[in-house]
Amino acid sequence: MSQIIEQLADTLRERRDASPETSYTASLIAAGVPKIRAKLEEELGELIEAAEALDSDRDAEEHARALVHEAADLWFHSMVLLVSQSVNPTLVLGELERRFGTSGHEEKRARLSAA
């Protein structure tokens, strides 16, 4: 799975330098963080709506597909934000790996005590 993240990160970096008139990614990055934020907020709202639809109708395969679709949109736009800030999206995988096997409560306590 990390291979597709790496491939997408490479593609996003290439498109960062493309013309905003010909590349959706370049247009988002050229518009800056406020535009990317707005897109992330939109996608998060759509993801939550899809989850709520699935929650109320668990047997609906259509809702499950919509949830996956919206999650992919949110991940994609999160990666656009990272690339726009010259942060390699694969670093997120390393952070998730670092946290793996650690209780969420423990991880949060460690962050709070370090602050």
Give the model confidence (pLDDT) of 66-89 as tens digits.
999 999 999 999 999 999 999 999
pTM across the whole model: 0.85
Which residues are CB-neighbours of 49 under 8 A, at least 6 positions away?
70
- Looking at residue 59, its pLDDT comes to 65
Read off the pLDDT of each residue in 27-52 and give the average, rounded to a whole number. Answer: 97
- Looking at residue 15, its pLDDT comes to 95
102 DSSP assignment: S
pLDDT at 2 over 80: no
Q: Which CATH class is domain 2-87?
A: mainly alpha
- Looking at residue 26, its pLDDT comes to 97
For residues 80 and 70, give the distance between their C-alpha atoms in angstroms, rounded to a whole number: 15
Tell me what percent of the residues of the chain surpass a pLDDT of 70: 97
Listed by start position, the domains of the chain span 2-87
pLDDT tens for each residue of 8-38: 999 999 999 999 999 999 999 999 999 999 9
How distant is the alpha carbon of residue 48 from its chain centre?
A: 14
How would residue 1 be classed by pLDDT, with cut points 50, 70 and 90?
A: low
Cα–Cα distances (Å) from 22 to 27, 34, 51, 66, 99, in that order, read: 8, 20, 33, 27, 39
57 DSSP assignment: -
Is-contact 25 15, C-beta < 8 A?
Answer: yes
